[in-house]
C-alpha cells in the first residue's frame, strides 16, 4: 500500500514534468532538430538546373564539390575578412570608451548615454541610416569624403566590405561599451588603489591590473562577436546585396542567394550545414570556456 | 595654513591639463558615435531638398514634422510597427512562459530522462537559425503559414537560452523554501507562481528584455516568410523604406527613428536589466 | 526504550493525543523506521516516541540522520520501511500539509519577496483562514515574540535573530499539533543563541506543543531537552533525560559526544577483582591512564560476565583531579581558568591527552607542571568491541 501511493505520486510528478517541458520540446523538434536533419538530407540532392525537374540524389559528392568550390571559398574568405574588420576593432574601441567613461568627471553620464545609444538601433536601422548618408547623390558622408557623384563607397569593390564593417562596428559599439563598462565597474577599487599605492602609473595600472581582470569579458565579447559576424545578414542585404561584384558576398548571404534568388536548395543546404558546423565549433569553444569559469560546481 | 605654491601649483596644473585632455577625448568620441543619430534627427526635420543642399544644414532652424506623418502613413511604418509589436510581444510572452515552465521542470520536478531532455534543449543553442532557414521556410509553406503571423511567431515560441537561465535560477532557490511551502500545502504550480517566479523577478525582467530585443530586431527570417505589408515587420519595412526616392530622404530618416523609438523607450525603462538582458543572449550561437 | 520519560501528569494519555485549552497536542511515534537513498542508509530501524507536550531533542553529529528523521515526521520524505504516527494516526501516506506539523528550518526559509507579515501569514493563507482572523493571529504571535514593529519589513532587512523570531512566529501562528525545529539556532552568534535557548524553552512551557528539536550542539540538547535522543550513523544510540544520558551513557559514542569537555575514554586493563584476573572479589582494580586505580564494587558484578580484561574506561573531567596521592602521572599542557576551578589538559606518560579539573582550593597549576591525578568519581566501562556500556 505504501509503495503504491508513492508510485502514483511519483507518476503524477513525472507527468507534470513532461507536461511543462512539452511546449518547448515540441517547438524545438519542429523548428530546430527536424530542419537540421533535413538540411543535411537536402544536401544529398542536387537541385536541377530548370524548375519542375526532379532533384537528383548525388550522395555526399555535392558536399565535396561545393565545399571545395571557388564561390564557397570566396564567401568564406569574405566572411573571415568581415570578422577581422569588425571584432578586434570593436573590442579595442569598447574597452577604450569604457575606460574613458569610467571616470569621475562632471557630465560623464551624458557621454555614457551617447556611447551606449547605438544599442537602440537595430541592424536595419543602422544600415538604412548609413545607406542614405553614403548615397552618392545626396549622402552627407559621400559629400564629406569627396565622393559626391560618381561611384559611391558601397559600390566600390575595395571599400564596400570595410564600409559595411564600419556600419557594423558602429551598430555594435553600444553593446560592447555597456559590456566593458559593467566589467570595469566590477573590478574592486581596492585592487586599483593597491596598485596606486604601489606607485603604478595610470597606463601601467591599466595594463597590469585592469586588462588582465577584463580578459574573461574580452574573451566573451570576442566569441560573441565572431559568432555574430558569421550571422550578419541585414547590413549586407541593405547596404550592398553581396556586391559589388560579390565583394561582400559573405557565407550567410551566399546561402540566402542560393536558396531564395536562385532556388538552388541543394547548394543552400550544403552551405547551411557548413555554417552550422563552423558556428558549432565556435559555440562549443565558448561553452567549454564558460563551463570552466561560470558554471563551475553548479550542476544538480 | 598657507600652502607653498611651488609644491601645489604644478600638480594642480597637471591635473587641469589632464582633465581637459580627457574631456576633449570624450568629446571627439561622442561626436563620432553620436553624429549618425544626431544627423538622422536633424534630417528628419528638414525637407528633402534641404538635406541635399550643400553646405549641409547641421541644425534645423525651422523643423518640419511632416516627414514623420508621411513615414507613419504613406510609407506604412504604422502598420509595420503594429505588426512588429504584435509579433514581438507574443514571442516574448510565450518564450517567458515556456522557458519558465521547462526551466522549473528541469530544476525541480523529477521525471525519467530529465537530464537527457535538458541536454537536448541546450543543444538547440548550438543550432543557429541561419543554418536552418531553407528547411524551415519549406515547413512554413507546407503548413500554409507563408506570409502570416504564425510564420513569424511559432518558430520562436521556445528559447534554449531562457530554459537554461531559468533552470539555473530555480536551482538556486533554497530547498528549505520548497519544504516550507510543501508543509503549507503548496504543490509545484503554486510554488512556481507564488514563490519561485516572484523571487526571480530581476531575471524575468532581463530575459523579457532580451527576448523582446532579439524578436524585434529579427531580419532574415521575416524577410523570407513575408511578402506583403500586412504582415511585414518594421525591420523589413525599413527595407521597403530605403527604396524610396531621393526626394523623400527626410521620410527615410524619420522612418528609421520611428523604428528605433520603441526600443529606445524600452531601454530607458529597463536600464537596470540592461546589461544582463543584453548579455543573456550571448549564450546563443 | 531506554531512559526515563519526563512526567507530564496532566497530559500523558494512552491515546497519543491530548486536548488542552491551547488545542490538540499529539504524540509522535516512529516505529522501526528506515530511510534509504540508493545504497546509503540515512536512518536505520529507528523506534522513538515523543510524548504529548514533550520537548524531545535529537542530538548527533552532522550526517547522523537526525534531520532526515525530522523530514520523515514532516512528510518531506517518506520512509523506506516502518511507520510514522502523529497522535493516533499513521501518517505515512498523509500529505505534509495535512499532518498538522510546523517546521523551523536552519536557514529559516523565509520567503525573501514577502514582508514579515505575509511570511507569518503564509500558513494561514494557504489554509484559507478568514482574513480578519489572520490579522489578529499574526499580531498576537508577533507581539509575543516582540517583532510587531518589524511586520512590514522584508526578511533581508532583518538581523539574524529577528529572522529567527519570524521563522518561529510563522511556525507558531497556526498552533500546530507538533513543532519540528531543525538546528534553529545554529546560524546565530553565541550570545544570541543563549538568549534564544531560554526563549524557546519559555515558549514551549507556554504552548506545551510537542516539539522535536534537532541539534548537533550537546550543550543546547542538555539545557533544553526534556529528553535527548542521541543518534549516530543513522542509528539511535540512547534516549533519556539529559541527566541520564550524561551520567549513564549507553555507549562510548554517547559518552564522548555528550558533555563538555568530552569524557576521557581510553583503554584500560583489569588487573584484579574479576574471575579472570584473580584477587579479592569485590575490589576491582585496573591499569588506566598509566596508573593503577581501584574501581567501585559495582563493577565487580558487571565484569563477571565479561570475558576479557581489556576494556574501554571513561572518566569525566570533573572526576579526575590532581591529588598528591594519585597514581596517574601527567604534565599540565594547558590551563583554562573557569572561576571555581581550573580545567587542565594533561599529557600522560603514554603521550595521550586527558582533561582534568582542579577545584580552586586544591592549589593552582601552570603549564609544564608535573602532577599526579586521581580518579575521584565514577569510572564508566565500555566493551572495546561493541563499545556498549558494561554494567549499569
CA C147 from chain centre, in angstroms, equals 29
- pLDDT given for residue C328 in this prediction: 86
Q: Is the confidence at residue C224, as pLDDT, over 90?
A: yes
Instruction: Tell whether C159 is within 8 A of chain A (Cβ).
Output: no
Average pLDDT for C132-152 = 91
Q: Is the confidence at residue C222, as pLDDT, over 80?
A: yes
Q: If pLDDT is split at 50, 70 and 90, which confidence band does C1 have? A: very low
Among A158-167, B15-24, C4-13, C187-196, the range with the most confident prediction by mean pLDDT is A158-167
Q: Is the confidence at residue A66, as pLDDT, over 80?
A: yes
C286-310 core/surface letters (b: 16 or more CB in 10 A; e: else)? bbbbbbebebeeebbebbeebeebe
Question: Domain tally for chain A?
Answer: 2
- pLDDT given for residue B280 in this prediction: 66
pLDDT in tens, B31-66: 999 999 999 998 888 888 888 877 888 888 778 888
Q: What is the ipTM of this complex?
A: 0.86
Q: Where does B75-278 sit in CATH, by number?
A: 1.10.3720.10
Q: If pLDDT is split at 50, 70 and 90, which confidence band does C240 have? A: very high
Chain C residue numbers touching A5 (CB-CB < 8 A): 93
Average pLDDT for A124-143 = 87
Chains that touch C (3 or more CB pairs under 8 A): A, B
Q: If pLDDT is split at 50, 70 and 90, which confidence band does C47 have? A: very high
Instruction: Tell whether A19 is within 8 A of chain C (Cβ).
Output: no
- pLDDT given for residue A224 in this prediction: 83
Which residue's C-alpha cell is 590532581? Answer: C322
Which residue's C-alpha cell is 597514581? Answer: C327
- CATH code of the domain in which A78 resides: 1.10.3720.10
- pLDDT given for residue C10 in this prediction: 43
Contact indicator for B277, B213 with CB cutoff of 8 Å: yes
Residues A148 and A284 in one domain: yes
Say yes or no for a CB contact (<8 Å) between B219 and A300: no
Chain A nearest-CA distance from C311, in A, is 45
Chains that touch B (3 or more CB pairs under 8 A): A, C
Instruction: Tell whether A54 is within 8 A of chain C (Cβ).
Output: no
CA dihedral for B186, B189, B192, B197, sign (positive or negative): negative
pLDDT in tens, B3-25: 444 444 566 777 777 888 889 99
- Comparing CB atoms, the residue among C74, C107, C112 nearest residue B199 is C112
Q: Give the predicted TM-score (pTM) of the model.
A: 0.82
Instruction: Tell whether B122 is within 8 A of chain C (Cβ).
Output: no
Average pLDDT for B183-210 = 90
Q: If pLDDT is split at 50, 70 and 90, which confidence band does A290 have? A: low
Residues A209 and A94 in one domain: yes
In percent, the amount of chain A with pLDDT more than 90 equals 38
pLDDT in tens, C150-198: 999 999 999 988 999 999 999 989 888 899 999 999 888 888 888 889 9
Q: Is the confidence at residue A95, as pLDDT, over 70?
A: yes
Q: Is the confidence at residue C9, as pLDDT, over 90?
A: no
Q: Report if residue A246 sits inside a domain.
A: yes
In percent, the amount of chain C with pLDDT more than 70 equals 89
- pLDDT given for residue C391 in this prediction: 75
Q: What is each CA distance from B94 to A28, B33, B100, B155, in whole angstroms?
A: 14, 35, 10, 11
Chain B nearest-CA distance from A74, in A, is 19
Q: Is the confidence at residue A164, as pLDDT, over 80?
A: yes
Q: Is the confidence at residue A141, as pLDDT, over 80?
A: yes
Residues A226 and A91 in one domain: yes
Average pLDDT for A61-87 = 91
Q: Is the confidence at residue B154, as pLDDT, over 90?
A: yes
Residues A30 and A129 in one domain: no
In percent, the amount of chain B with pLDDT more than 90 equals 52
Which of B69-78, B147-156, B252-261, C299-308 is the least confident region? C299-308
pLDDT in tens, B225-270: 999 989 999 999 999 888 877 678 889 999 999 999 999 888 888 8
Among A14-28, A285-299, B113-127, the range with the most confident prediction by mean pLDDT is A14-28
Instruction: Tell whether C80 is within 8 A of chain A (Cβ).
Output: no
Q: Is the confidence at residue B200, as pLDDT, over 50?
A: yes
- pLDDT given for residue C306 in this prediction: 74
Q: If pLDDT is split at 50, 70 and 90, which confidence band does C341 have? A: confident
pLDDT in tens, A217-259: 888 888 888 888 998 999 999 999 887 888 999 999 999 999 8
C-alpha cell at position A93 = 574601441
Q: Report if residue A58 sits inside a domain.
A: no
Question: Which residue ranges make up each domain of chain B?
Answer: 5-44, 75-278
- pLDDT given for residue C3 in this prediction: 37
Instruction: Tell whether B205 is within 8 A of chain C (Cβ).
Output: no
- pLDDT given for residue C7 in this prediction: 40
Instruction: Tell whether A6 is within 8 A of chain C (Cβ).
Output: yes
Best of A124, A265, A274 to mutate (most B CBs within 10 Å, chain B): A124
State which H helix or E strand residue B189 sits in. helix B188-191
Q: Is the confidence at residue B285, as pLDDT, over 60?
A: no
Which of A157-171, B137-151, C20-34 is the least confident region? C20-34
Q: Is the confidence at residue B141, as pLDDT, over 90?
A: yes
- pLDDT given for residue C18 in this prediction: 67
The 3-state DSSP class for residue A56 equals: strand
Q: Mean of the per-residue pLDDT values for chain C?
A: 85
Chain C residue numbers touching B185 (CB-CB < 8 A): 95-98, 126-127
Q: If pLDDT is split at 50, 70 and 90, which confidence band does A29 have? A: very high
Q: Report if residue A59 sits inside a domain.
A: no
| CA-closest candidate to residue B155, choices B117, B127, B195, B184 | B127
In percent, the amount of chain B with pLDDT more than 70 equals 92
In sequence order, what are the residues at sequence separation of 6 or more whose Cβ sits closer than 8 angstroms to the Cβ of residue A117?
A174, B33, B34, B37
Average pLDDT for B159-166 = 91
- pLDDT given for residue A210 in this prediction: 81
- pLDDT given for residue A1 in this prediction: 42
Among B84-93, C3-12, C151-160, the range with the most confident prediction by mean pLDDT is B84-93
Chain A nearest-CA distance from B230, in A, is 19
Chains that touch A (3 or more CB pairs under 8 A): B, C
Which of A151-155, A177-181, B116-120, C139-143 is the least confident region? A151-155
Which of B92-106, B171-185, B267-281, C156-170 is the least confident region? B267-281
Phi then psi for C93, rounded to 5 degrees?
A: -105, 10
C-alpha cell at position B139 = 515547413
Residue of A nearest to B21 (CA): A100
Average pLDDT for B94-101 = 96
CA dihedral for C301, C305, C306, C307, sign (positive or negative): positive
Best of C78, C90, C95, C98 to mutate (most A CBs within 10 Å, chain A): C78
Instruction: Tell whether C93 is within 8 A of chain A (Cβ).
Output: yes
- pLDDT given for residue B216 in this prediction: 92
Chain A residue numbers touching C31 (CB-CB < 8 A): none
- How far apart are alpha carbons B67 and B48 in whole angstroms? 10
SS3 track for chain C: CCCCCCCCCCCCCCCCEEEECCEEEECEEEEEEEEEECCEEEEEEEEEEECCCCEEEEECCCCCCHHHHHHHHHCCCCCCEEEEEECCEECCCCCHHHCCEEEECCCCCCCCCCCHHHHHHHHHHHCCCCHHHHHHHHHHHHHHCCCHHHCCCCHHHCCHHHHHHHHHHHHHCCCCCEEEEECCCCCCCHHHHHHHHHHHHHHHHHHCCEEEEEECCHHHHHHHCCEEEEEECCEEEEEECHHHHHHCCCEHHHHHHCCCCCCEEEEEEEEECECCCECCCCCEEEEECCEEEEECCHHHHHHHCCCCCEEEEEECHHHEEECCCCCEEEEEEEEEECCCEEEEEEEECCCCEEEEEEEHHHCCCCCCCEEEEEECCCCEEECCCCCEECCC
C352-369 core/surface letters (b: 16 or more CB in 10 A; e: else)? eebbbbbeeeeeebeeeb
- pLDDT given for residue C390 in this prediction: 85
Best of C32, C72, C92 to mutate (most A CBs within 10 Å, chain A): C92
Residue of A nearest to C75 (CA): A6
Beta strands in chain B, from DSSP E residues, in sequence order: none
Residues A74 and A28 in one domain: no
In the β-sheet with C320-322, what is the strand arrangement from edge to edge?
C320-322, C370-375, C328-337, C341-348, C353-359
Average pLDDT for A197-210 = 76
- pLDDT given for residue A222 in this prediction: 86
Instruction: Tell whether A120 is within 8 A of chain C (Cβ).
Output: no
Contact indicator for A133, A144 with CB cutoff of 8 Å: no
The 3-state DSSP class for residue A285 equals: helix
Q: Is the confidence at residue B125, as pLDDT, over 70?
A: yes
Average pLDDT for A155-174 = 92
pLDDT in tens, C244-273: 999 999 999 999 999 888 899 988 888 776
- pLDDT given for residue C6 in this prediction: 40
pLDDT in tens, C377-392: 888 889 888 889 887 6
Chain C residue numbers touching A3 (CB-CB < 8 A): none
Q: Report if residue A54 sits inside a domain.
A: no
Structural domain boundaries enclosing A28 = 2-42
Residues A190 and A230 in one domain: yes
Best of A28, A89, A146, A241 to mutate (most B CBs within 10 Å, chain B): A28
Which residue's C-alpha cell is 533525560? Answer: C241
- pLDDT given for residue B6 in this prediction: 46
Amino acid at each position: 500500500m505504501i509503495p503504491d501511493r508513492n508510485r502514483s505520486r511519483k507518476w503524477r510528478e513525472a507527468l507534470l514534468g513532461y507536461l511543462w517541458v512539452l511546449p518547448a520540446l515540441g517547438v524545438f523538434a519542429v523548428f530546430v532538430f527536424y530542419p537540421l536533419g533535413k538540411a543535411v538530407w537536402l544536401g544529398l540532392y542536387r537541385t536541377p538546373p530548370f524548375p519542375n525537374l526532379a532533384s537528383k540524389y548525388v550522395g555526399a559528392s555535392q558536399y565535396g564539390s561545393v565545399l571545395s568550390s571557388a564561390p564557397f571559398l570566396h564567401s568564406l574568405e569574405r566572411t573571415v575578412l568581415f570578422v577581422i574588420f569588425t571584432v578586434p576593432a570593436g573590442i579595442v574601441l569598447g574597452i577604450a570608451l569604457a575606460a574613458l567613461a569610467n571616470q569621475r568627471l562632471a557630465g560623464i553620464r551624458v557621454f555614457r548615454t551617447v556611447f551606449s545609444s547605438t544599442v537602440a538601433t537595430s541592424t536595419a536601422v543602422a544600415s538604412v541610416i548609413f545607406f542614405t548618408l553614403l548615397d552618392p547623390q545626396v549622402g552627407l558622408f559621400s559629400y564629406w569624403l569627396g565622393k559626391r557623384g560618381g561611384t559611391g563607397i558601397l559600390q566600390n569593390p575595395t571599400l564596400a566590405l570595410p564600409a559595411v564593417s564600419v556600419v557594423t562596428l558602429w551598430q555594435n559599439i553600444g553593446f560592447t561599451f555597456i559590456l566593458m563598462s559593467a566589467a570595469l565597474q566590477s573590478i574592486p577599487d581596492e585592487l586599483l588603489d593597491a596598485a596606486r599605492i604601489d606607485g603604478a602609473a595610470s597606463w601601467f595600472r591599466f595594463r597590469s591590473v585592469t586588462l588582465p581582470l577584463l580578459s574573461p569579458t574580452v574573451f566573451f565579447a570576442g566569441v560573441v562577436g565572431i559568432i555574430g559576424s558569421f550571422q550578419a545578414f541585414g547590413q549586407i542585404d541593405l547596404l550592398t546585396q553581396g556586391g559589388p561584384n560579390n565583394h561582400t558576398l559573405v557565407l550567410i548571404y551566399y546561402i540566402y542567394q542560393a536558396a531564395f534568388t536562385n532556388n538552388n536548395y541543394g547548394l543552400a543546404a550544403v552551405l547551411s550545414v557548413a555554417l552550422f558546423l563552423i558556428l558549432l565549433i565556435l559555440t562549443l569553444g565558448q561553452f567549454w570556456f564558460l563551463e570552466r569559469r561560470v558554471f563551475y560546481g553548479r550542476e544538480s | 595654513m598657507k600652502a607653498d605654491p611651488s609644491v601645489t601649483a604644478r600638480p594642480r596644473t597637471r591635473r587641469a591639463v589632464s582633465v581637459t585632455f580627457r574631456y576633449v577625448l570624450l568629446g571627439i568620441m561622442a561626436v563620432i558615435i553620436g553624429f549618425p543619430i544626431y544627423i538622422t534627427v536633424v534630417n528628419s526635420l528638414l525637407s528633402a531638398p534641404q538635406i541635399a543642399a550643400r553646405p549641409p544644414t547641421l541644425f534645423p532652424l525651422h523643423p518640419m514634422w511632416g516627414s514623420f506623418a508621411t513615414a507613419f502613413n504613406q510609407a506604412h511604418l504604422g502598420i509595420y510597427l503594429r505588426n512588429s509589436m504584435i509579433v514581438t510581444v507574443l514571442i516574448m510572452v510565450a518564450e517567458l512562459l515556456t522557458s519558465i515552465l521547462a526551466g522549473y521542470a528541469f530544476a525541480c520536478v523529477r521525471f525519467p530522462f530529465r537530464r537527457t531532455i535538458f541536454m537536448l534543449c541546450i543543444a538547440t543553442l548550438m543550432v543557429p537559425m541561419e543554418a536552418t532557414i531553407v528547411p524551415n521556410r519549406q515547413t512554413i509553406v507546407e503548413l500554409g503559414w507563408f506570409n502570416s503571423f504564425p510564420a513569424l511567431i511559432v518558430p520562436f515560441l521556445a528559447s534554449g537560452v531562457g530554459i537554461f537561465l531559468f533552470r539555473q535560477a530555480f536551482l538556486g532557490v533554497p530547498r528549505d523554501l520548497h519544504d516550507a511551502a510543501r508543509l503549507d500545502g503548496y504543490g509545484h504550480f503554486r510554488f512556481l507562481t507564488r514563490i519561485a517566479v516572484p523571487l526571480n523577478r530581476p531575471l524575468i525582467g532581463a530575459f523579457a528584455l532580451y527576448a523582446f530585443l532579439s524578436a524585434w530586431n529579427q531580419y532574415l527570417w521575416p524577410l523570407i516568410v513575408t511578402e506583403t505589408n500586412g504582415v511585414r515587420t518594421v525591420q523589413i519595412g525599413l527595407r521597403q523604406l530605403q527604396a524610396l526616392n531621393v526626394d523623400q530622404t527626410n521620410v527615410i530618416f524619420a522612418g528609421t527613428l520611428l523604428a528605433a523609438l520603441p526600443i529606445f523607450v524600452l531601454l530607458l525603462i529597463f536600464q537596470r536589466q540592461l546589461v544582463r538582458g543584453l548579455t543573456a543572449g550571448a549564450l546563443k550561437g | 526504550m531506554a531512559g526515563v520519560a519526563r512526567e507530564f501528569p496532566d497530559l500523558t494519555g494512552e491515546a497519543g493525543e491530548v486536548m488542552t485549552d491551547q488545542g490538540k497536542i499529539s504524540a509522535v511515534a516512529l516505529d522501526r523506521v528506515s530511510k534509504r537513498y540508493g545504497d546509503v542508509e540515512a536512518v536505520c530501524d529507528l523506534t522513538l516516541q515523543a510524548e504529548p507536550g514533550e520537548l524531545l531533542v535529537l542530538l548527533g553529529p552532522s550526517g547522523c540522520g537526525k534531520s532526515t528523521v525530522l523530514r520523515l515526521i514532516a512528510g518531506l520524505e517518506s520512509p523506506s520501511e516502518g511507520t510514522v504516527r502523529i497522535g493516533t494516526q499513521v501518517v505515512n501516506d498523509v500529505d505534509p500539509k495535512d499532518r498538522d506539523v510546523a517546521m523551523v528550518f536552519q536557514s529559516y526559509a523565509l520567503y525573501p519577496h514577502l514582508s514579515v507579515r505575509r511570511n507569518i501569514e503564509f500558513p494561514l493563507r494557504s489554509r484559507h483562514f478568514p482574513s480578519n482572523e489572520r490579522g489578529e493571529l499574526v499580531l498576537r504571535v508577533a507581539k509575543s515574540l516582540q517583532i510587531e514593529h518589524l511586520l512590514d519589513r522584508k526578511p533581508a532587512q532583518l538581523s539574524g535573530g529577528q529572522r529567527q523570531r519570524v521563522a518561529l512566529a510563522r511556525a507558531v501562528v497556526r498552533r500546530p499539533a507538533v513543532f519540528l525545529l531543525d538546528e534553529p539556532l545554529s546560524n546565530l552568534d553565541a550570545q544570541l543563541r543563549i538568549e534564544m535557548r531560554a526563549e524557546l524553552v519559555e515558549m514551549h512551557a507556554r504552548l506545551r506543543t510537542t516539539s522535536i528539536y534537532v541539534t548537533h550542539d550537546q550543550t543546547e540538547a542538555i539545557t533544553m531537552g526534556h529528553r535527548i535522543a542521541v543518534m549516530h550513523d543513522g542509528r539511535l544510540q540512547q534516549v533519556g533525560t539529559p541527566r541520564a544520558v550524561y551520567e549513564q551513557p549507553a555507549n562510548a559514542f554517547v559518552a564522548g559526544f555528550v558533555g563538555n569537555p568530552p569524557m576521557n575514554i581510553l583503554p584500560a586493563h583489569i588487573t584484579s577483582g574479576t574471575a579472570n584476573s584473580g584477587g579479592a572479589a569485590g575490589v576491582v582494580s585496573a591499569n588506566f591512564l598509566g596508573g593503577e586505580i581501584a574501581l567501585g564494587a559495582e563493577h565487580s558484578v558487571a565484569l563477571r560476565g565479561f570475558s576479557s580484561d581489556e576494556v574501554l574506561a571513561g572518566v569525566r573531567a570533573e572526576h579526575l583531579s590532581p591529588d598528591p596521592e594519585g597514581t596517574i602521572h601527567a604534565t599540565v599542557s594547558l590551563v583554562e581558568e573557569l572561576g571555581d576551578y581550573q580545567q587542565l589538559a594533561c599529557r600522560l606518560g603514554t603521550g595521550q591527552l586527558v582533561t582534568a579539573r582542579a577545584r580552586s582550593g586544591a592549589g593552582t597549576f601552570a603549564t609544564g607542571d608535573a602532577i599526579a591525578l586521581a580518579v575521584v568519581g565514577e569510572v564508566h566501562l565500555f566493551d572495546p568491541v561493541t563499545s556498549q556500556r558494561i554494567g549499569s
